């Protein structure tokens, strides 16, 4: 799996996978033309499938200029072990402890912060508000898939909201360097959560 990428204009998340293919390319209403290029000559674009292409190129060629090595992956067991230490920190209103799981230059994004937050201080300020409002929610890992530099996590959450208990399932992209999270992107449909909060 390459990654998961939001497409808010259509309320969708793109799940991108690399696929090896052979045979004849046929044009259609959805494919007007095509070009065959080496990865080093490909340029991505900053939205939708372009972000998937950018990550795929980074994994093959290294970031930005293509000069660096591909990022190592965590295997499934290592990813789940990491989650067993990290996810409990989201419960109990302990923002400082949770922020310590993130690198100083980390990037964090969730549906409430679609533009993301850069750097541990900004992430900590957000976590203080978020965890204070949700001290009793709980998160657990359901499964994990290695990707270059980290893993994708499918999680389950139990969230008290508006006098009800909401159960959500979602997906995180987690990149890790030296045991700390450098990038964390959270994807889930929060319609049920917002409805419960509005009722309360």
**Are the C-beta atoms of 107 and 186 separated by less than 8 Å?**
no
Q: How far is residue 144's CA from residue 175's CA, in Å, rounded to a whole number?
A: 12
Nearest alpha-carbon partner for 184 in 158, 160, 161, 155 = 155
Task: Report which of residues 131 and 46 the model is more confident about.
Answer: 131
pLDDT in the model for residue 17: 87
The domain segmentation of the chain, as residue ranges, is: 3-61, 76-199
The answer to whether 91 and 134 are in contact (CB under 8 A) is no
Are the beta carbons of 79 and 144 closer than 8 angstroms? Answer: yes
The mean pLDDT value for 12-37 works out to: 87
pLDDT at position 66 is: 42
Q: Which two tokens stand for residue 68?
A: 């660096």
How many other C-beta atoms are found inside a 10 Å radius of the C-beta of residue 56?
A: 19
For the entire predicted model, the pTM comes to: 0.71
Name the pLDDT band for 186 (thresholds 50, 70, 90): very high
User: How high does pLDDT run on average in the chain?
Assistant: 87
Confidence bin at 62 (pLDDT 50/70/90)? low
Q: What beta strand segments (E) does the chain contain? A: 3-7, 12-16, 102-110, 113-118, 138-147, 150-161, 164-177, 180-187
Least confident of 22-31, 39-48, 154-163, 180-189: 39-48
What pLDDT was estimated at residue 65?
Answer: 47
| Spatial distance between the Cα atoms of 59 and 18, rounded to a whole number of angstroms | 11
Backbone angles phi, psi at 70, to 5 degrees: -65, 145
Q: Which of 138, 193, 133 shows the shortest CA–CA distance to 164?
A: 193
Angstrom CA distances, 129 to 13, 72, 95, 101, 168, stand at 26, 34, 9, 17, 20
Question: Is pLDDT of 171 > 70?
Answer: yes
DSSP percent split of the chain into helix, strand, coil, nearest 5: 30, 35, 35
Instruction: Check if the beta carbon of residue 171 is closer than 8 Å to that of residue 153.
Output: yes
CATH number given to 76-199: 3.10.450.50
Region label for 85, one of left (φ > 0), alpha (ψ between -120 and 50) or beta (otherwise): alpha
Average pLDDT on 20-35 reads 88
């Amino acid at each position: 799996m390459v990654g998961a990428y939001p497409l808010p204009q259509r309320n969708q998340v793109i799940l991108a996978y690399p696929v090896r293919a052979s045979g004849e390319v046929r044009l259609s209403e959805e494919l007007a033309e095509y070009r065959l290029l080496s990865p080093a000559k490909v340029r991505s674009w900053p939205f939708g499938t372009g972000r998937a292409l950018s990550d795929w190129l980074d994994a093959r060629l290294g970031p930005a200029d293509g000069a660096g090595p591909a990022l190592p992956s965590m295997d499934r067991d290592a990813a789940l072990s990491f989650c067993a230490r990290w996810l409990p920190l989201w419960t109990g209103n302990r923002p400082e402890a949770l922020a310590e799981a993130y690198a100083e230059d980390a990037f964090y994004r969730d549906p409430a912060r679609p533009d993301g937050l850069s750097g541990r201080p900004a992430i900590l300020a957000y976590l203080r508000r978020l965890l204070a409002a949700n001290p009793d929610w709980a998160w657990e890992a359901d499964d994990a898939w290695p990707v270059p530099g980290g893993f994708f996590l499918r999680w389950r959450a139990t969230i008290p909201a508006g006098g009800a208990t909401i159960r959500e399932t979602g997906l995180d992209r987690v990149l890790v360097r030296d045991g700390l999270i450098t990038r964390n992107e959270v994807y889930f449909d929060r319609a049920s959560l917002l409805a419960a909060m509005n009722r309360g």
